[in-house]
Amino acid sequence: MKTCFILGASGGIGQAIAKKLAGSGYGLILHYQTNHEAIDQLCKNLPDGSVLQTVQGDLRQEASVLNMLDQIAFSVDALVVASGTSLVKLFQDVTVNEMNDVLAIHVKSPWLISQKLLPDMIKKRSGHIILISSIWGEVGASCEVVYSSVKGAQDSFVKSLAKEVGRSGVHVNGIRPGFIRTSMNNQLSDEELIDIEEDIPLGRLGEPGDIANTVHFLVGSGASYIQGEIINVNGAWNG
pLDDT digits (tens, 9 = 90+) for 125-171: 999 999 999 999 999 999 999 999 999 999 999 999 999 999 999 99
- CA–CA distance, 77 with 75 (Å, rounded to integer): 7
- Which band of pLDDT confidence, cut at 50, 70 and 90, is reported for residue 10? very high
- CA–CA distance, 175 with 123 (Å, rounded to integer): 26
Does residue 100 surpass a pLDDT of 80?
Answer: yes
Provide, rounded to the nearest whole percent, the portion of the chain with pLDDT above 90.
Answer: 93
pLDDT of the residue at 182: 86
In this prediction, residues 16-39 reach a mean pLDDT of 97
Identify whether 147 is a catalytic site residue.
Answer: yes
pLDDT digits (tens, 9 = 90+) for 66-75: 999 999 999 9
pLDDT digits (tens, 9 = 90+) for 197-232: 999 999 999 999 999 999 999 999 999 999 999 999
Going by C-alpha positions, the residue among 215, 234, 159, 167 that lies closest to residue 22 is 215
Q: What is the mean pLDDT of the chain?
A: 96
pLDDT of the residue at 183: 78
Domains, the chain, with CATH or none: 3-233 (3.40.50.720)
Phi and psi at residue 186, to the nearest 5°: -65, -15
Q: Of residues 26, 32, 147, 225, which has the active-site annotation?
A: 147
Does residue 184 surpass a pLDDT of 80?
Answer: no
